[in-house]
Amino acid sequence: MGVNLDKPGRWKNDIAQSVDLYNDWFLKFAPKTYRDERVKATKDVQAMLQRTNCLRNLTVRELAENPSIVFALRMSTAPPIARDRLVGLADVSKSLVNRMEKRGQLPPGMKRAELDEHLRRIAMMILRLADVDIFPWLGEAHDPSKQEVYRAATIVADRLCGANADPIVRNAQERRQLAKIKKWLEARGYQDMTRGVGVDTLKPGVFAFRLNVPGLKEDRKTVNIPVDAVVMPVKSKPADLPLMIEAKSAGDFTNTNKRRKEEATKIGQLRRKYGKAVRYILFLCGYFDSGYLGYEAAEGIDWVWEHRMDDLAKFGL
């Protein structure tokens, strides 16, 4: 018997309460979260400008030592360019640019001479497209004032945050959700062992965040599945599996229906590894409509609404 998946009669009311909860949080905290990120981004761009002599000395070495600045550099052009557009214009490796931006790393298998050539092409293309309205000193051959540098940094930072607005809000919401789960568990005597355990070493009364749990693909190859929270109930027996919780939030109904297959894929991989006894649930806040809920219920995935957190106890916690 399920906790929420088999009770469609109360889905409509839960959806309305969940939407209200998300909207209330967004109006109170999202603007501040965005502003805080913009302040941080401004400082990062200022540091990049200082290292590159205000873009007048953008070198291969700078890109190699600070790969993640590619995102800020893309936002420094006129017009700002997408990642794939930079790849095409500079004729460089897509995997190189992706790794630089997303991981802040260089590909370990790329030969040094080839890597330097690709970094050189990136630098040349950025400088060719640099927005001289933001960086007027590049076209006028004068040293910028502190005010000009700060103004340029704030503009680029605003572009960065604008391009990254949804992930900024989503990451803030995820941190808030995990903090609520932590508070709920610790109030009931559970211990946070996030940095000291694996899924196979969890003891009763212990939980961990963002744990990689091994699963199996359809071809039976092992895959690591990142799970937001993994909890071993206090009354667990030695052979019992932990409860796995995926924190999900959404600011509109459209994106949830695009993402609903993600959970079905994960639970399929987990079931191939651990069998039907695997326990995997969602922790929901925001815009999750009956179509989304019905899809997850059909996959055998249950959930807890953030506005009714005590339902977690019904899963043995």
Which tens digit of pLDDT belongs to each residue from 28-61? Answer: 888 888 888 888 899 999 999 999 999 999 999 9
pLDDT the model gives residue 58 = 92
Report whether pLDDT(69) > 80. yes
pLDDT in tens, 280-304: 999 999 999 999 999 999 999 999 9
Q: What is the mean pLDDT of the chain?
A: 89
For the domain made up of 8-28+167-315, give the CATH fold.
Trna Endonuclease; Chain: A, domain 1 (3.40.1350)
- The answer to which of 62-76, 83-97, 197-211, 223-237 has the lowest mean pLDDT is 197-211
pLDDT the model gives residue 126 = 94
| pTM for this model (two decimals) | 0.73
Q: How confident is the model at residue 208 (pLDDT cuts 50, 70, 90)?
A: very high
pLDDT in tens, 75-103: 999 999 999 999 999 999 999 999 998 88
- The answer to which of 139-143, 236-240, 256-260 has the lowest mean pLDDT is 256-260
C-beta separation of 285 from 180 below 8 A = no
Mean pLDDT within 250-266: 80
pLDDT the model gives residue 256 = 74
Distance between CA atoms of residues 168 and 252, nearest Å = 15
- Structural domain boundaries in the chain: 8-28+167-315, 36-164
- The answer to which of 39-48, 163-172, 228-237, 252-261 has the lowest mean pLDDT is 252-261
Q: How confident is the model at residue 141 (pLDDT cuts 50, 70, 90)?
A: confident
CA-CA-CA-CA dihedral for 162, 93, 130, 105, to nearest 10: 60
pLDDT the model gives residue 309 = 94
Mean pLDDT within 114-120: 94
Report whether pLDDT(117) > 90. yes
Report whether pLDDT(13) > 90. yes
